[in-house]
Chain A
Amino acid sequence: MKLTIERAALLKSLGHVHSVVERRNTIPILSNVLLDARDGRLGLTATDMDLTIVEEVAAEVGEPGATTAPAHTLYDIVRKLPDGAQIELAVQGDGGQMKLTAGRSTFQLATLPKEDFPAANDGELPQGFTMHSEELRHLIDRTRFAISTEETRYYLNGIYLHATKGNESQVLRGVATDGHRLARFEMSLPDGAAGIPGVIIPRKTVNELRKLIDETEGAIEIGLSDTKVRFKFDSTLLTSKLIDGTFPDYERVIPSGNDKTMNVDCKVFAKAVDRVSTISTEKSRAVKLSLEDGTLTLSATSPENGSASEELEVNYGGERIEIGFNSRYLLDIAERIDGGEAEFSLSDSASPTIVRDVSDSSALYVLMPMRV
């Protein structure tokens, strides 16, 4: 194998693939990236066995061939090379090492045989539809924060993507929850997505996907089966196993009878919550919301720090209510409300509260109160 490639192009591709590679691996080959040069292109493949990324980039191929090299090391080298450098990758002889040359720098990298690299499964997936990158970005940004990190409940460690009937028409929904809060995003069902199975996309896949979306404009092809999902970009293919579990019946969690409604300027609200929560203890982060006739009083107390309160003008006409929330969760949600106004639907101090963006009906958030 022998090829020449411009540093920026290689860095961009390695940037995509290297983060799939786990820092610590018990299986050595999984620390490597598969490099495959042919027909004027360099293919790069990395996998952690659950998530596989394949990237293609134009290169001047002198001699076709393939090998595998340590992904993080290769990335770090290319990152440190000067802008505009021409990089030559070459494997000679028995293929035990790959030589990287750029200007007056030379590196010899230990390789592992390409045959040992887990075979990429390029089988076709039975279901497929297309989403605009903008839509997929919204879906992720509105829900990702609520993904649970508790491994015990592995079926919550991802975004639940499924087709269902919305209020009026068929919709595509993404849902995530950790038991404290739930985020639901919906959009009109894309063509071809009518019969898709409900799938749970793992957090790591979501994070890698989100990074790729930032560099893409236009459509993303999504392929699905019961066990796999694939996202196809112009020159990148991200294939992931799905979480094998049952996402809880989240509809049950979304209350329908919350009769008290508060409307508040979201930016003002977030700033006040942030200020008052300075006092809350590190462990609980609790703030109390007291609502009465057009006034919201935010308050916090902690035995060590003291107390804080702040009054806000809000649109509220219901009966007096006091309810406590984790301030971090309130801020997480406030951050996702792009329109100026948030609407809170409350029932009582022990029941879940719904938060919506008044100017955007695609997302809905449910928040469990805390004892305060």
Chain B
Amino acid sequence: MTEATPALCRDCLTLFEDTPAERCPECASPRLFAHGELPTLSLAHLDCDAFFASIEKRDNPELADKPVIVGGGRRGVVAACCYVARIYGVRSAMPMFKALERCPDAVVIRPDMDRYRAAGRRVRELMQDITPLVEPLSIDEAFLDLSGIETLHGGRPARSLARLVLDIERELGVTASIGLSYNKFLAKIASDLDKPRGFAAIGRAEALDFLAEKPVGIISGVGKAMQASLSRDGITRISHLRRYEEIDLIARYGAMGRRLYSFARGVDKRQVEPNAPTKSISAETTFDTDVADADELLSRLWPLCETVAARLKKSGLAGHGVTLKLKTRDFQTLTRSQRLQDPTRLADRLYRAAEPLLRKAADGRRFRLIGIGAHDLVDAALADPPSLLDPDIGRHAKVEAAMDRVRGKLGADAIVKGRGFKT
């Protein structure tokens, strides 16, 4: 006699002690989720499917069966692409020209972040309705910890999640995929297994076997460079990592070694942190045509400084460090950082710190993207202290605050500084 495998109908939300033959006996839906550890897995990763593209399709039903790409013109990169476009080989973060080579008939839509953000906020609220332990990773994905709320919802975490996804679909017209497991690392991997509109789990029983043959690159934080250095040491698959002691991995790969050791064994002790502190605030833009001229680059930089400053002010933070980011026409990314004497939340300060960095970096190469970020964030109370040499610093802050108020009322273009004014 084999043991019974519990199951859940993802449409009528009925729970079964043992998995029914094919379809749900209650509603005849084929969407059954069966897993031996269904009652005990409670950590989930929710990821909306092709979020920006889905919203565009929702708002314009004519697009339903067309390949849709959301992104910045011919020059930008793919911010999101629908599953029709993916059939042609389009992927997100692909340069737009490459995407259009693969799928010339795609409908390209400029991103409308305000609309996506509004939908993202609503998704977040729906998630927070089922558990306070929601850790957003971006506008459309988050970790949810549902442990201990079983009695609250009178059901299994899996059932609460299935209902959440149905609610999101019904209310927002976008689909989402769930990855269910017992830690963040595996939940995130699981949400990708059954996309779109998926529901997949990795349980304790199968985690080790599941991971064994996977490439090390699925561990978050293991990028190209790390993969290359692991590969030099003969480590390409997760199982290879299990040959080493933790101490050896730490000695060889530093702090990352600890993560490699435990993740390879399906262990991830990171908690879901609903209020994970912001590490940096940044803004960037891709040009329609490559830019080499320093002054032109600077004029593109200024509005980004204003955006970052506005976000800093909104979050009550100030940046002690400033990073300038440039991407060359052949997609090399350059970053140049500067630590400020005092933390700032002023656009003017960010700009003045970035200007010399930019002038040095602008050596005639053509750039396709520019960005600026504030990092080493501290409380706004420490921002822009009074200075002997800059008695006007208080006035600068007041001017920016006044401009922010005007923009709050009349929109972002209602008032601009001379530096941002284009004739």
Q: Do A and B bind each other?
A: yes
Task: Using CB atoms and an 8 Å cutoff, list the residues of chain A in contact with chain B.
Answer: 148-152, 156, 177-182, 248, 253, 283-284, 350, 352, 366, 368-371
Bound together, the chains give a CA A369 to CA B390 distance in angstroms of: 14
Residues of A near B379 (CB, < 8 A) are: 283
**Which stretch (B9-17, B163-171, B308-316, B381-389) binds chain A?**
B381-389
Answer whether residue B353 sits at the interface, using C-beta atoms and an 8 A cutoff. yes
Answer whether residue B352 sits at the interface, using C-beta atoms and an 8 A cutoff. yes
Residues of A near B353 (CB, < 8 A) are: 152
| Nearest CB of B to A153, in Å | 8
| Nearest CB of A to B385, in Å | 6
List residues 355-391 of chain B with CB under 8 A from any CB of chain A.
Answer: 355-356, 378-379, 381-382, 385-390
- Check if A352 sits within 8 Å of B388, measured CB to CB: yes
Answer whether residue B332 sits at the interface, using C-beta atoms and an 8 A cutoff. no
Residues of B near A152 (CB, < 8 A) are: 338, 340, 352-353, 355-356
Task: Using CB atoms and an 8 Å cutoff, list the residues of chain B in contact with chain A.
Answer: 338, 340-341, 352-353, 355-356, 378-379, 381-382, 385-390
| Nearest CB of B to A151, in Å | 7
CB closest chain-B residue, reference A367: B388
Bound together, the chains give a CA A179 to CA B352 distance in angstroms of: 16
Bound together, the chains give a CA A253 to CA B356 distance in angstroms of: 26
CB closest chain-B residue, reference A156: B389
| Contacts known (A151-B338, A151-B356, A178-B341); A283 close to B378, Cβ less than 8 A | yes
- Check if A369 sits within 8 Å of B382, measured CB to CB: no
Interface centre among A150, A152, A156, A248 (most CB of B within 10 A): A152
Residues of B near A253 (CB, < 8 A) are: 388-389
Secondary structure at the A interface, as helix, strand, loop or mixed, is loop
Residues of A near B341 (CB, < 8 A) are: 148-150, 178-180
- Check if B388 sits within 8 Å of A369, measured CB to CB: no
Residues of B near A350 (CB, < 8 A) are: 386
Bound together, the chains give a CA A366 to CA B340 distance in angstroms of: 21
- Check if B388 sits within 8 Å of A150, measured CB to CB: no
Residues of B near A366 (CB, < 8 A) are: 388
Return the contact of A177 from the options B355, B378, B388 (Cβ within 8 A).
B388
| Contacts known (A148-B341, A150-B341); A179 close to B387, Cβ less than 8 A | yes
| Contacts known (A151-B338, A152-B356); A371 close to B385, Cβ less than 8 A | yes
Bound together, the chains give a CA A152 to CA B349 distance in angstroms of: 10
Bound together, the chains give a CA A253 to CA B386 distance in angstroms of: 13
Secondary structure at the B interface, as helix, strand, loop or mixed, is mixed
Bound together, the chains give a CA A352 to CA B355 distance in angstroms of: 30
Return the contact of A180 from the options B356, B378, B387 (Cβ within 8 A).
B387
- Check if A179 sits within 8 Å of B356, measured CB to CB: no
- Check if A369 sits within 8 Å of B389, measured CB to CB: no
| Nearest CB of A to B358, in Å | 12
25 residue pairs of the A-B complex, CB under 8 angstroms, read A149-B341, A151-B338, A152-B338, A152-B340, A152-B355, A152-B356, A177-B388, A177-B389, A178-B341, A179-B387, A179-B388, A179-B390, A180-B387, A181-B388, A248-B389, A253-B389, A284-B381, A284-B382, A366-B388, A368-B386, A368-B387, A368-B388, A370-B386, A371-B381, A371-B385
| Nearest CB of A to B388, in Å | 5
CB closest chain-A residue, reference B386: A368
Residues of A near B352 (CB, < 8 A) are: 152
CB closest chain-B residue, reference A178: B341
CB closest chain-A residue, reference B354: A152
Bound together, the chains give a CA A279 to CA B352 distance in angstroms of: 34
CB closest chain-B residue, reference A179: B387
- Check if A150 sits within 8 Å of B389, measured CB to CB: no
| Nearest CB of B to A90, in Å | 41
| Nearest CB of B to A299, in Å | 17
Residues of B near A284 (CB, < 8 A) are: 381-382
Return the contact of B385 from the options A148, A149, A248, A370 (Cβ within 8 A).
A370
| Nearest CB of B to A246, in Å | 12
Bound together, the chains give a CA A371 to CA B388 distance in angstroms of: 14
| Nearest CB of B to A133, in Å | 31
- Check if B340 sits within 8 Å of A150, measured CB to CB: yes
Bound together, the chains give a CA A181 to CA B341 distance in angstroms of: 12
- Check if B388 sits within 8 Å of A182, measured CB to CB: yes
Bound together, the chains give a CA A151 to CA B353 distance in angstroms of: 8
- Check if A180 sits within 8 Å of B382, measured CB to CB: no
Bound together, the chains give a CA A149 to CA B342 distance in angstroms of: 11
| Nearest CB of B to A356, in Å | 17
Residues of B near A178 (CB, < 8 A) are: 341
Return the contact of A371 from the options B386, B387, B389 (Cβ within 8 A).
B386
Besides A180-B385, A180-B387, A368-B387, 16 more A-B contacts (Cβ < 8 Å) are A152-B338, A152-B352, A152-B355, A177-B388, A177-B389, A179-B388, A179-B389, A179-B390, A180-B388, A253-B389, A368-B385, A368-B386, A370-B385, A371-B381, A371-B385, A371-B386
| Contacts known (A148-B341, A151-B338, A178-B341); A369 close to B356, Cβ less than 8 A | no
Bound together, the chains give a CA A253 to CA B378 distance in angstroms of: 28
Bound together, the chains give a CA A150 to CA B341 distance in angstroms of: 6
CB closest chain-A residue, reference B353: A152
CB closest chain-B residue, reference A286: B382
Bound together, the chains give a CA A177 to CA B388 distance in angstroms of: 9
Bound together, the chains give a CA A179 to CA B386 distance in angstroms of: 9
Interface centre among B379, B381, B386, B390 (most CB of A within 10 A): B386
Residues of B near A370 (CB, < 8 A) are: 385-386
Residues of B near A149 (CB, < 8 A) are: 341
Interface centre among A148, A156, A179, A369 (most CB of B within 10 A): A179
Bound together, the chains give a CA A279 to CA B387 distance in angstroms of: 24
Interface centre among B341, B385, B388 (most CB of A within 10 A): B388
Residues of A near B389 (CB, < 8 A) are: 156, 177, 179, 248, 253
Residues of A near B382 (CB, < 8 A) are: 283-284
Bound together, the chains give a CA A368 to CA B352 distance in angstroms of: 22
CB closest chain-A residue, reference B320: A283
Instruction: Sort A-B residue pairs by CB-CB distance and give the 4 closest, nearest first.
Output: A179-B387, A150-B341, A179-B389, A253-B388
Bound together, the chains give a CA A352 to CA B338 distance in angstroms of: 28
Bound together, the chains give a CA A152 to CA B382 distance in angstroms of: 20
Bound together, the chains give a CA A178 to CA B390 distance in angstroms of: 11
Bound together, the chains give a CA A350 to CA B379 distance in angstroms of: 21
| Nearest CB of A to B340, in Å | 7
Residues of B near A182 (CB, < 8 A) are: 388
Residues of A near B386 (CB, < 8 A) are: 350, 368-371
Bound together, the chains give a CA A150 to CA B342 distance in angstroms of: 9
Residues of B near A180 (CB, < 8 A) are: 341, 385, 387-388
| Nearest CB of B to A371, in Å | 7
Residues of A near B340 (CB, < 8 A) are: 150, 152
Bound together, the chains give a CA A366 to CA B389 distance in angstroms of: 11
Bound together, the chains give a CA A152 to CA B388 distance in angstroms of: 16
Bound together, the chains give a CA A35 to CA B300 distance in angstroms of: 50
Bound together, the chains give a CA A182 to CA B389 distance in angstroms of: 10
